[in-house]
Amino acid sequence: MNRHRLTLVLLVLVLVPSVRSQICRRFCGDIQLRYPFGSGPGCGDPRFTKYISCNETMLTFTTHTGSYPITNIDYANEILYVSDPSMSTCFCTQPSKGFGLDWDAPFTFQDDTVFALLGCSLDSSPMYKGAFRGNTSDVPQCDDTGTNLCSALYACQPIRQLNVPITTCCVYAPVDLGPTFEMDLQKLQCKAYTATYSFDRQEMNPEAWKFGVALKYKFNVKNEYPIYCINCEKSDGVCAYTGMYDDFTCNCRSGLNTSTDCEFGFYWSSGIMLLPSSKGIWSLISAVLLLFWISF
């Protein structure tokens, strides 16, 4: 094989494998995936990768207290809705360890989220003794305005099956779960908890409530949607990241990565810049293959 033919062979071997890259998914089950969320490592925003994962059909939110199914994402208002399978509702009751957020996570509790602790010990729970998290006063950390909510909850048959007096129901305050962002039921000496993010204008009908936890998320310190990501999504791309420094990349349906968008941009694979557009890449490959065939 002469030198010319050897060069063509090397071009084919280098170019063809390198133009392919990871394809970021646009849906996980029936939930659409948009920035800052992604279907796995390399997709979305790297700050969210360790908290959000997709196992083909279910999108999951993970913290140090467990993993929870994501039921919906409100991109317009930047709210993530999760459910806790161990949480008690108007339809079932069960023991739970509680719920918490990682202190450095880019999430906070949405203001409409209400936590109610169930079956708390009146004798030893720090919620009633005022000794929780350094609070030495005799004031309990239960929201006094939560009496009506507890009354409505105890109208549910599953809640009544806990067989504990309604006075052991405590609407937890503050809603952000304090400086540790955690509700540890074992430390609080409570049997279970429930959470709701909407009463659907039926405060006295708990069967109509939306049970779960609503979380606000932020893109960055200024909470600004990155302009480069807007351009990427407008071109039918998915915002992603790559390399040692998690550099932005726009992932196109073909699996190619570009530094700008899927209309026009420099494509990268393993840090190697290829060509200005996908059409250009495939045109070059076609030309190389044609020359390779003619040379023989």
Asked if the model's pLDDT at residue 257 lies above 60, the reply is yes
Q: Which residues pair with 192 in a beta bridge?
A: 118
Of 20, 58, 41, 44, which Cα lies nearest the Cα of 238? Answer: 44
Higher pLDDT, 55 or 281: 55
Find tokens 């994962």 and name the residue.
Answer: 53
Distance CA 277, CA 282 (A): 9
Q: What is the mean pLDDT of the chain?
A: 80
The residue to which tokens 């302009």 are assigned: 227
Mean pLDDT in residue range 55-76? 94
Rounded average pLDDT over 68-84: 96
Span 232-247, pLDDT tens digits: 999 999 999 998 889 9
Q: Is the pLDDT of residue 278 over 70?
A: no
Tokens 């609070």 label which residue?
135
Lowest mean pLDDT among 20-34, 161-175, 228-242, 254-268: 254-268
pLDDT tens by residue, 121-156: 888 888 776 544 454 444 447 877 778 889 999 889
Whole-model pTM? 0.77
The predicted pLDDT at position 42 comes to 92
By the 8 A CB rule, do 177 and 107 touch? no
Cα–Cα distance, 234 to 98 (Å, whole number): 41
Give the separation between CA 264 and CA 235, rounded to whole angstroms: 9
Identify the band that residue 94 occupies on the pLDDT scale cut at 50, 70 and 90: confident
Residue 3 has pLDDT above 80, yes or no: no
pLDDT of residue 179: 64
* pLDDT at res. 287: 52
For residue 279, the tally of other CB atoms under 10 A from its CB is: 10
Query: Is the confidence at residue 212, as pLDDT, over 90?
Result: yes
For 162-187, the pLDDT digits (tens) are 888 888 888 886 666 766 678 889 88
